[in-house]
Amino acid sequence: MFKLAWRNIWRNKGRSFITIAAVMFCVIFAVVLRSFQVGVWEHMVGDIVANNFGYLQVHQKGFWGDQSLDLSMDETTLDWDKMENVPGVRALVPRLESFSLVSTGESNRGSLVLGIRPEEELSGLRLTDQLIDGRLFAPASNEVVVSEGLAEYLHVAVGDSLMFLGQGYRGASAYGQFMVAGIAKISNPELNKQLVVLPLETAQWMYNATGLLTTVVVDLEPNADFAEVKASLEPLLRSDFELLDWKQLFPELVQTIEADMAGGQIFVTILYFIISFVLLGTVIMMVSEREREFGILVSIGMRKTTLAAVTVLENLMLLVGGAVVGMAVVKPVQFYFKYNPIDLSGQMKEAIEQFDFEPKLYTTTSFIINLNHGAIVFVIGVLVSSYAVWKIMKLNPVKSMRS
Amino acid sequence: MIFKVAWRNIWRAKVRSFIVIGSIAVGIWAGLLIIGFSFGMNNERTASAIGTTTGHAQIHHEDFDAEPLSTAVVADSSTVVALRKTVEALPFVSGTAQRTVLGGMINSTKSARAVRIMGIWPEEERLQTTLADCMVEGDFFEASGRNRLLIGEKLAKRLGLKLRSKVVLTFQDSEGNLSRASFRISGIYKTLNATWDEFHLYVHHQDLEKTLGAPLVHEVLVRFEETVDTEEKAGVLAAAMPAGLAVKSWKQVRPELGFADDMMAIMLVLVLGIIMMALLFGIINNMLMAILERRRELGMLMAVGMNKRKLFLMILVETLMLGFVGGPIGILLGDLSTRAMMRVGIDLSSKQDGLAELGVQSIIYPEIVPSYYLIIAVMVITTALIASILPAIKALKLNPVEAIRGH
Amino acid sequence: MSKPVIEVKNLEKVYDGAVPVHAVNGISLSITQGEFTALKGPSGCGKTTLLNMLGGLDQPTAGSIAIGGVDITTLSENALIDFRLRNIGFVFQAYNLIPVLSAQENVSFIMLLQDRPKEEREARAQQLLEAVGLKGKEDKRPGQLSGGQQQRVAVARALASKPQFVLADEPTANLDSQSTANLLDIMERLNKEEGMTFVFATHDDRVIKKARRIISIEDGKVLSDD
Full 3-state SS string of A338-385: HHCCEECCHHHHHHHHHCCCCCEECCCCCHHHHHHHHHHHHHHHHHHH
Domain holding C138: CATH number? 3.40.50.300
Residues B35, B160, single domain; the answer is no
CA dist., res. C214 & res. C52, Å (int): 18
Chain A, residues 300-319, CB within 8 A of chain B, namely none
Indicate if the pLDDT at residue B60 is higher than 90.
no
| Cβ within 8 Å of residue B312, ≥6 positions away | B392, B395, B396
With CA atoms as reference, report the closest residue to C186 among C149, C160, C213. C149
DSSP C96-109: -S-TTS-HHHHHHH
Is residue C178 packed enough to be buried (19+ CB in 10 Å), middle (13-18) or exposed (0-12)? exposed
With CA atoms as reference, report the closest residue to A9 among A375, A378, A320, A370. A320
With CA atoms as reference, report the closest residue to B69 among B239, B216, B252. B216
Average pLDDT, chain C: 86
Residues B42, B96, single domain; the answer is no
Mean pLDDT of A144-173: 87
Residues of B in contact with C157 (CB under 8 A): 304
Q: What is the separation of C-alpha C197 from the centre of its chain, rounded to a whole number of angstroms?
A: 9
Residues B353, B373, single domain; the answer is yes
Considering only CB atoms, C113 lies closest to which of B4, B310, B404, namely B310
Residue B67 lies inside a defined structural domain of this protein: yes
Residue B66 lies inside a defined structural domain of this protein: yes
Residue C2 has a pLDDT of 59
Residue C151 has a pLDDT of 92
Indicate if the pLDDT at residue A25 is higher than 50.
yes
Q: What is the DSSP-derived secondary structure letter of residue B217?
A: B
- What is the SS3 assignment for A244? strand
* CA angle centred on B153, ends B220 and A108, rounded to 5°: 55
| Cβ within 8 Å of residue B368, ≥6 positions away | B36, B335, B338, B339, B342
**DSSP-derived pairing of the beta strands A215-220 and A89-103:** antiparallel
> B181-218: buried (b, 16+ CB within 10 Å) or exposed (e) per residue?
bebebbbbbbbbbbbbbbebbbbbbebbeebbeebbbb
Mean pLDDT of B69-85: 77
> C62 at the B interface (CB within 8 A)?
no
Which of C52, C78, C81, C111 is most worth mutating to test chain B (most B CB atoms within 10 A of its CB)?
C81
Residues B37, B68, single domain; the answer is no
Residues of A in contact with B286 (CB under 8 A): 281
Residue B316 has a pLDDT of 92
Residues B134, B215, single domain; the answer is yes
pLDDT band at B292 (very low <50, low <70, confident <90, very high): confident
Residues B169, B317, single domain; the answer is no
CA dist., res. A356 & res. B335, Å (int): 37
The 10s digit of each residue's pLDDT in C164-186 is 999 998 888 888 888 888 888 88
The 10s digit of each residue's pLDDT in C76-123 is 888 888 999 998 999 988 888 988 889 999 999 999 888 888 899 899
CA dist., res. A391 & res. A394, Å (int): 5
Residue B407 has a pLDDT of 41
Considering only CB atoms, B259 lies closest to which of A98, A171, A348, namely A348
| Cβ within 8 Å of residue B324, ≥6 positions away | none
Which of C84, C141, C162 is most worth mutating to test chain B (most B CB atoms within 10 A of its CB)?
C84
Look at residues B226, B249, B270 and tell me which one is the last residue of a structural domain: B226
CA dist., res. A228 & res. B245, Å (int): 59
Calculated CA dihedral for residues A151, A156, A159, A160, nearest 10 degrees:
-130
CA dist., res. A364 & res. A370, Å (int): 11
* CA angle centred on B95, ends B91 and B101, rounded to 5°: 135
Residues of B in contact with A66 (CB under 8 A): 110-111, 159-160
Own/partner contacts of A150-156, CB < 8 Å, gap of 24 or more, are: A150/A102, A150/A109, A150/A111, A150/A192, A150/A193, A150/A194, A150/A195, A150/A196, A151/A180, A151/A183, A153/A107, A153/A109, A153/A193, A154/A102, A154/A104, A154/A107, A154/A108, A154/A109, A155/A104, A155/A106, A155/A107, A156/A104, A156/A180
CA dist., res. C172 & res. C206, Å (int): 9
Residues B112, B86, single domain; the answer is yes
Domain count, chain B: 2
With CA atoms as reference, report the closest residue to B274 among A275, A19, A278, A344. A275
Structural domain of residue B307, as residue ranges? Answer: 2-48+258-405
Mean pLDDT of A287-294: 80
With CA atoms as reference, report the closest residue to B119 among B215, B204, B214, B212. B204
Residue of A nearest to B21 (CA): A277
CA dist., res. B186 & res. B140, Å (int): 8
Residues B178, B272, single domain; the answer is no
Domain count, chain C: 1
pLDDT band at A106 (very low <50, low <70, confident <90, very high): confident
The 10s digit of each residue's pLDDT in B156-192 is 988 888 898 899 998 877 676 778 889 999 999 998 8
CB B40 within 8 A of CB B264: no
CB B128 within 8 A of CB B55: yes
Structural domain of residue C203, as residue ranges? Answer: 4-225
Q: What is the pTM of this model?
A: 0.79
Is residue C15 packed enough to be buried (19+ CB in 10 Å), middle (13-18) or exposed (0-12)? exposed
Q: What is the enclosing helix (H) or strand (E) of B80? A: helix B77-89
CA distance B20 to chain A (A): 7
CB A95 within 8 A of CB A116: yes
Residues B42, B161, single domain; the answer is no
Q: What is the enclosing helix (H) or strand (E) of B197? A: helix B194-197
User: How many Cα atoms occupy the beta-carbon half-sphere of A181 within 13 Å?
Assistant: 18
Considering only CB atoms, B274 lies closest to which of A14, A21, A29, namely A29
- Tell me the β-bridge partners of B171: B104, B179
- Inter-CA distances, A80 with A94, A218, B23, B221, Å: 11, 11, 63, 55
The 10s digit of each residue's pLDDT in B222-254 is 999 888 888 888 888 888 888 888 898 888 888
Residues B323, B220, single domain; the answer is no
Residue B244 lies inside a defined structural domain of this protein: no
With CA atoms as reference, report the closest residue to B201 among B161, B252, B248. B161
DSSP C167-221: EEESTTTT--HHHHHHHHHHHHHHHHHH--EEEEEE--HHHHHH-SEEEEEETTE
CA dist., res. A266 & res. B342, Å (int): 19
Residue B71 has a pLDDT of 67
Q: Which of A154-163, A270-279, A349-358, C121-130 has the lowest mean pLDDT?
A: A349-358
With CA atoms as reference, report the closest residue to B134 among B53, B215, B209. B53
CB A365 within 8 A of CB A335: yes
Residues B136, B181, single domain; the answer is yes
Residues B72, B210, single domain; the answer is yes
Mean pLDDT of B115-123: 89
Contact flag C81-B5 (C-beta cutoff 8 Å): no
Residue B25 has a pLDDT of 92
Indicate if the pLDDT at residue A75 is higher than 60.
yes
The 10s digit of each residue's pLDDT in C39-78 is 888 776 778 888 888 888 888 888 888 888 888 888 888 8
Q: Which chains touch B (3 or more CB pairs under 8 A)?
A: A, C
CA distance B276 to chain C (A): 30
- What is the SS3 assignment for A175? strand
